[in-house]
């Protein structure tokens, strides 16, 4: 059986077992390239998934935003170590002095500390990013001083997008389509789906995409598997597209994939510029996952294996298939088993907050119990966020057991081969809680 047939069978089996309507995947490996399409792009219309079906790229757009900034660095119009206010004098946060300490580099490696992860101003049109900046300065503060920690930052990438608009004189979407996506419009576009609460049967999303204010972080960009493979090959090699057009210098490609910060715990990946850097199969994989309403995309580049994986599923449950394909292609083994630990849990108890989220942590016996509560700042924020996740936010209390210094795993789950995103860690002497690569800060810290 050839590689295309193997991939197709793998996808067909997973989607059939898990009720995922449609899936797209592309693999470039050692000079050979294959693409497969499976299932339905929109169950309401019956439109099939095709190899050239478009889809929302989600946060994979962040790598494209970073690439666009690096192009300006090469041209000398942007300095990575200059304060963001050099280019955006209007950039402000509610935390006094915080914005002025943020450098361009901090926007790209998720160390800016901007506390705006769930901040969704509902503005459309060419002035959306300018409007975002105005509201950011009035409504959002800083989680931590710039450069101190890593916290996955939608806000940082959106500010980077506005910076690009100012230094190039072009709207972000126009710049992205001209320099990265090539301006081609897919003939059809997949629609996201969510599993039904009772049966798990997929239903179409009621929200196709996020507002234009989120464009640089991944709210609006649409591409195809071929687009992602071509873009991945730019970062696989020396900055050239397969057609021979130079996008970046080899030095910029190398800088983006070089480790710039790491939290030091297994629940979060080291970061480069834009990329998350995972160790898989004895080598480094450059990765980014892109969520959209009811959809999930992934782009992974593994230079030492001459490998690019691009995939999209129009149901969030496809994330597990993305992970399985990446592990199989890289020959990665499961992570080592974690070991239960015993230490004083009281220092971790308390209330932790970030933009519109509250996490209440208390000690129950020899475990921590965490309760995550969504606290929308207004009706628009609630409408957009619940549309993005497919319904009301409801997170029951979760119990965690200690498995190492400042590290916790879900109670009752096997400690062997536990996915990193299931872990929770604490930092700064317990003043910060990290889950899913995102920090919350202890109230009063």
- Over residues 41-71, the pLDDT tens digits come to 999 999 999 999 999 999 999 999 999 999 9
Cβ-based neighbours of 46, under 8 Å, separated by 6 or more: 40
255 within a domain of the structure (yes/no): yes
254 within a domain of the structure (yes/no): yes
Same domain, 416 and 314: no
Please, which pLDDT band fits residue 281 given cuts at 50, 70 and 90? confident
Same domain, 210 and 326: yes
Whether residue 51 contacts residue 311, with contact meaning beta carbons closer than 8 Å, is answered with no
157 within a domain of the structure (yes/no): yes
Domain boundary among 333, 356, 379: 333
Report d(CA 160, CA 23) in Å as an integer: 31
Cβ-based neighbours of 253, under 8 Å, separated by 6 or more: 234, 235, 237, 238, 239
Same domain, 297 and 272: yes
Q: With 90 as the cut, is the pLDDT of residue 406 above it?
A: yes
Extended strands (E) in 113-247: 193-195, 202-204, 222-223
Whether residue 195 contacts residue 216, with contact meaning beta carbons closer than 8 Å, is answered with no
Q: With 90 as the cut, is the pLDDT of residue 185 above it?
A: no
Neighbours of 346 (CB within 10 A): 10
Same domain, 368 and 403: yes
CATH code at position 397: 2.40.128
3-state secondary structure of 351: strand
Q: What is the average pLDDT across 399-428?
A: 93
In three-state form (DSSP H/G/I as H, E/B as E, the rest C), the secondary structure along 66-110 is HHHHHHHHHHCCCCCCCEHHHCCCCCCCCCCCCHHHCEHHHHHCC
Domain boundary among 299, 333, 367: 333
Range of the domain at 219: 1-333
**Sign of the C-alpha dihedral computed for residues 201, 207, 212 and 214 taken in this order:** negative
Output the pLDDT for position 6: 87
Q: How does pLDDT run across 77-100, given as a tens digit for each residue?
A: 999 999 999 999 999 999 999 999
Same domain, 98 and 175: yes
Same domain, 249 and 368: no
**Average per-residue pLDDT in the chain?**
95
Cβ-based neighbours of 397, under 8 Å, separated by 6 or more: 369, 370, 371
Output the pLDDT for position 184: 75
Q: How does pLDDT run across 330-346, given as a tens digit for each residue?
A: 998 877 889 999 999 99
Residue 289 half-sphere exposure toward CB, CA atoms < 13 A: 18
Q: What is the average pLDDT across 413-423?
A: 88
Q: With 80 as the cut, is the pLDDT of residue 10 above it?
A: yes
Output the pLDDT for position 434: 97
338 within a domain of the structure (yes/no): no
Same domain, 65 and 30: yes
124 within a domain of the structure (yes/no): yes
269 within a domain of the structure (yes/no): yes
Report d(CA 140, CA 159) in Å as an integer: 13
Domain boundary among 300, 333, 366: 333
Tokens coding 212:
């234009």
**135: enclosing H helix or E strand:** helix 128-139
How many domains are there within the chain?
2
339 within a domain of the structure (yes/no): no
Q: With 80 as the cut, is the pLDDT of residue 149 above it?
A: yes
24 within a domain of the structure (yes/no): yes
CATH code at position 302: 3.40.710.10
Same domain, 20 and 134: yes
Same domain, 265 and 385: no
Q: How does pLDDT run across 213-272, given as a tens digit for each residue?
A: 999 999 999 999 999 999 999 999 899 999 999 999 999 999 999 999 999 998 989 999
Report d(CA 225, CA 309) in Å as an integer: 9
Same domain, 244 and 388: no
Same domain, 119 and 226: yes
Output the pLDDT for position 166: 98
Q: With 70 as the cut, is the pLDDT of residue 1 above it?
A: no
Please, which pLDDT band fits residue 347 given cuts at 50, 70 and 90? very high
Output the pLDDT for position 424: 97
Whether residue 162 contacts residue 84, with contact meaning beta carbons closer than 8 Å, is answered with no
Report the percentage of the chain scoring pLDDT > 90. Answer: 89
Same domain, 215 and 103: yes
């Amino acid at each position: 059986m050839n590689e295309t047939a193997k991939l197709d069978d793998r996808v067909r089996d997973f989607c059939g077992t898990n009720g995922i309507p449609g899936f797209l995947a592309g693999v470039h490996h050692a000079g050979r390239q294959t693409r497969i399409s499976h299932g339905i792009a929109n169950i309401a219309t019956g439109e099939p998934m095709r190899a050239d079906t478009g889809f929302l790229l989600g946060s994979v757009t962040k790598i494209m935003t970073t690439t666009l900034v690096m192009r300006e660095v090469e041209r000398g119009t942007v300095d990575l170590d200059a304060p963001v206010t050099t280019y955006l004098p209007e950039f402000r946060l509610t935390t006094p002095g915080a914005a002025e300490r943020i450098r361009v580099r901090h926007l790209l490696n998720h160390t800016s500390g901007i506390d705006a992860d769930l901040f969704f101003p509902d503005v459309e049109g060419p002035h959306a990013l300018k409007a975002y900046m105005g509201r950011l300065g009035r409504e959002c503060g800083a989680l931590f001083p710039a450069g101190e920690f890593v916290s996955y930052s939608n806000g940082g990438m959106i500010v980077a997008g506005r910076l690009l608009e100012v230094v190039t004189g072009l709207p972000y979407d126009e710049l992205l389509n001209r320099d990265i996506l090539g301006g081609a419009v897919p003939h059809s576009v997949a629609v996201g789906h969510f599993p039904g609460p009772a049966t798990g049967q997929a239903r179409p999303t009621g929200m196709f995409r996020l507002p234009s204010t989120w464009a640089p972080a991944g709210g609006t960009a649409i591409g195809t598997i071929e687009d992602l493979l071509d873009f991945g090959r730019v970062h696989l090699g020396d900055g050239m597209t397969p057609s021979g057009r130079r996008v970046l210098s080899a030095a910029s490609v190398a800088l983006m994939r070089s480790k710039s910060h790491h939290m030091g715990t297994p629940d979060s990946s080291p970061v480069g510029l834009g990329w998350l850097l995972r160790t898989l199969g004895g080598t480094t994989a450059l990765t980014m996952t892109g969520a959209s309403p009811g959809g999930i995309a992934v782009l992974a580049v593994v230079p030492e294996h001459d490998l690019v994986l691009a995939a999209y599923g129009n149901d969030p449950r496809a994330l597990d298939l993305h992970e399985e394909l990446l592990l199989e292609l890289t020959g990665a083994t499961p992570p080592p088993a974690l070991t239960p630990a015993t230490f004083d849990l009281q220092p971790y108890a308390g209330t932790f907050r970030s933009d519109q989220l509250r996490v209440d942590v208390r000690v129950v016996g020899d475990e921590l119990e965490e309760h995550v509560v969504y606290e929308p700042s207004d009706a628009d924020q609630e409408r957009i966020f619940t549309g993005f996740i497919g319904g009301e936010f409801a997170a029951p209390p979760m119990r965690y057991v200690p498995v190492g210094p400042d590290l916790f795993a879900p109670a009752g789950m096997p400690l062997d081969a536990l996915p990193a995103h299931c872990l929770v860690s604490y930092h700064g002497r317990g003043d910060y809680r990290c889950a899913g690569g995102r920090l919350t800060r202890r109230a009063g810290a």
